[in-house]
Structure 1
């Protein structure tokens, strides 16, 4: 168990050939792309258990991170209980989804749906399950610093869902010293029989099969609203360096969160061309924080476009958020209440006109790629509403931009000449 009097404990885990190979080959940072039914969740859980049980660090901490806390419970909790059952003295907490081992190590299941709740922890090892469904900043801003002082390790496992954050991490890792990468297709692993794969092909679209079983990052994401349009923008060179032009006003579009994130797009117009020059998102802070974020930038602002519910008065203060922003020096306009589908259609019409700054808008672009319809497992069909996750805030803000941004004419050069009547359908 990692101390001077080691005890041999046999766990009920018999790794497949490829799983055993991965356990031996992995380094400090690892990205494993695998097909469905490869056994990646069992692999990740047992990699954590072995590391935790053999650790001789003081109070070692390990985590299994899923896109949501609910997913962590449904996918990994039974595995964690099952594979730690033979360890004498292991204590399990159903309410906190954690197992404490007798050497002081703790294994916890966590969700990435509230990234800021992860701040302040330290980790000696972490498994990211389906990293492509998480906000990319979960690793770069939050978990990576948590691994720093004790030189903890990370394992990213998942199946492709388009060219999202998981794809970019995999491509980045392939050229990085100290990183290990692997990709396992169902046609090559022989874990699933040929007849099973042939049956799957008959019941799935070619894109679905290519993604789920052949690990194709190029296949279209099922239910995605904007992924193909963002892909087109990248192919056409409209995602790159887009400098701020001080001769043009900067307009902003907001999605205002209450208990979650607030997202802001910054754009400039030059005729029919819309330049997305900046993006900002945060959570757990007041409106004064966002007012300061605007003031800290060198831009001269035109319109600030807010969703229609920004004018609803809050019970505590008696003021609406648009009134609060006005008191902070941000004079905003409120858009019409439109259904999601109408707003999505407006965004689809706007996207071919857009140029994105790849660096400053990276998080927003990633969200647009990942924004998708909710899938009803029981009915086997997509619902009319989108999934509410980390990508929703940026996508909603972009939708408000599409509805509220006037496109019928060139933007004027001076900010005092850019006050226009709000007409969501002018273009």
Structure 2
């Protein structure tokens, strides 16, 4: 591979002069943000006086890190500048510098796999495609005792983790925040931008080139419905009604995440979704404690059909293990994913969500989307499996598996909209 010397463009140099310990860069496509951030890691690794300096480059998926970043890392850090040589480990996507520093690439699809390490510097690439907790629960603590730095780069995909970090960085004088739109930078020629604007939808162009956080998410199943819930005031503070049971709907994972929605069936054939929990790498005993700690009066617990599968290690199914812990599950019907998605679409207009406790789950519902096939220029019939999947799968089981007390089917639509504070609104 050809080795290259990094020479920053004027705007890249401007960014480097302004970087703080924590920095958020919202940049249009082809700005050069990946090259900028890779070279910040390389420079820090070369210049450190720590014999055990550690840097991480985190992409939404491990496969993305390998495809997009690995060649860039080898291209720029293999020059042997200042007598420093680098050894590359292909199987671990790791670069070892002869001064003891290391840079390693990771994927954020399994956040808890990143736990347990320390870091001196971290780059988050395409933050809009990651759950926010990768930063707050995993990487931020890993930087604490080393006073490490973090850099967040990406292009918007709605109001998600990148938007939250961007908004917070603008309010915090100790953070650096910058946005670079294609119409301002002139990195891409005007004629090429005009051609792109003709070939893309207005929402796509605004998102990819003008860094719009409000443009629609391409291929989103529920984005408009979640937006409607927000606009009509159904995402607010929703207290638990102590007179009603709290039901739960689960997506059960072992090596990946388990997600649980907590909800109540309320008057007017509506639903108050009062809480949400997601974690990974934990056994059912952990979630039994989670239920106990919340002290809700529980009704129905809904699980996916594969909870009956027996585990090789114990010979027991998770259904049996749950019963031994005092959790008795109803099993959601095993229906096609698309039918489950349609059930969620029918149910979302009936739901009120607690804005704080359900925020991570709502973020997933908003961003759950179909894959786009560039070759066929069309959307796939299947959803993308990423960080949004666990929350949405759990909500699918809620939509297809819950039955009102008495055994009757869940009503397909509401006559009235129920307000948790006692007001009732007639549908128009």
TM over 0.5: yes
Q: How does 1:276-355 map to 2 (within 5 A)?
A: 276-355=273-352
- Matches of 2:170 and 2:402, distance apart in 1: 41
- Matches of 1:314 and 1:85, distance apart in 2: 46
Tell me the secondary structure at the aligned position of residue 291 of structure 1: helix
Superposition TM-score, scaled by structure 1 size: 0.92
- Matches of 1:145 and 1:378, distance apart in 2: 41
CA drift at 1:315: 4.4
Q: Does 1:118 align with 2:114?
A: yes
Q: Which runs of 5+ in 2 are unaligned?
A: 414-428
CA drift at 1:197: 0.4
Tell me the alpha carbon deviations over residues 149-207 of structure 1, each in whole angstroms, 9 at most, x when there is no partner.
11111110000101111111111111012011111111110000011001101111111
- Matches of 2:73 and 2:229, distance apart in 1: 43
CA drift at 1:316: 4.3
Aligned length: 407
2:52 to 50, 54, 59: 59
Q: Is the 8 A contact 1:97 1:108 kept in 2?
A: yes
Tell me the secondary structure at the aligned position of residue 213 of structure 2: coil
Q: How does 1:355-366 map to 2 (within 5 A)?
A: 355-366=352-363
Tell me the alpha carbon deviations over residues 244-292 of structure 1, each in whole angstroms, 9 at most, x when there is no partner.
1111100100111133111100001212221111111111121122122
Q: Is the 8 A contact 1:336 1:424 kept in 2?
A: no
Tell me the alpha carbon deviations over residues 313-351 of structure 1, each in whole angstroms, 9 at most, x when there is no partner.
444444332232122111111121111111111111111
Tell me the alpha carbon deviations over residues 361-412 of structure 1, each in whole angstroms, 9 at most, x when there is no partner.
12111111121112223323211111111110001101111112346xxxxx
CA drift at 1:83: 0.4
| Structure-2 residue corresponding to 1:40 | 33
2:202 to 199, 203, 206: 206
| Structure-2 residue corresponding to 1:377 | 374
Q: Does 1:197 align with 2:193?
A: yes
- Matches of 1:169 and 1:104, distance apart in 2: 32
Tell me the alpha carbon deviations over residues 65-100 of structure 1, each in whole angstroms, 9 at most, x when there is no partner.
100111001111111001011124211111111111
CA drift at 1:424: 5.9
Q: Is the 8 A contact 2:4 2:75 kept in 1?
A: no
- Matches of 1:326 and 1:422, distance apart in 2: 25
Moved more, 183-192 or 341-350: 341-350
- Matches of 2:191 and 2:256, distance apart in 1: 46
CA drift at 1:53: 1.1
Q: Which runs of 5+ in 1 are unaligned?
A: 1-9, 408-417
Q: Is the 8 A contact 2:254 2:283 kept in 1?
A: no
CA drift at 1:422: 6.5
Tell me the secondary structure at the aligned position of residue 106 of structure 2: strand
Q: Does 1:397 align with 2:394?
A: yes
- Matches of 1:95 and 1:401, distance apart in 2: 40
- Matches of 1:219 and 1:45, distance apart in 2: 28
Against the structure 1 CA distance between its residues 312 and 103, is the aligned structure 2 distance closer, same or farther, given a 3 Å change threshold?
Answer: closer
Against the structure 1 CA distance between its residues 172 and 157, is the aligned structure 2 distance closer, same or farther, given a 3 Å change threshold?
Answer: same
| Structure-2 residue corresponding to 1:70 | 63
| Structure-2 residue corresponding to 1:421 | 407
Against the structure 1 CA distance between its residues 68 and 21, is the aligned structure 2 distance closer, same or farther, given a 3 Å change threshold?
Answer: same
| Structure-2 residue corresponding to 1:160 | 156
- Matches of 2:90 and 2:314, distance apart in 1: 39
| Structure-2 residue corresponding to 1:139 | 135
2:75 to 71, 82, 86: 82
- Matches of 2:40 and 2:30, distance apart in 1: 17
- Matches of 1:105 and 1:174, distance apart in 2: 32
| Structure-1 residue corresponding to 2:216 | 220
2:170 to 165, 171, 174: 174
Q: Is the 8 A contact 1:264 1:281 kept in 2?
A: yes
- Matches of 2:228 and 2:25, distance apart in 1: 27
- Matches of 1:354 and 1:92, distance apart in 2: 51
Tell me the secondary structure at the aligned position of residue 296 of structure 1: helix
Aligned-pair Cα RMSD in Å: 1.7
Q: Is the 8 A contact 1:304 1:332 kept in 2?
A: yes
CA drift at 1:11: 6.1
Superposition TM-score, scaled by structure 2 size: 0.91
Q: Is the 8 A contact 1:335 1:424 kept in 2?
A: no
Q: Is the 8 A contact 1:276 1:354 kept in 2?
A: yes
| Structure-2 residue corresponding to 1:268 | 264
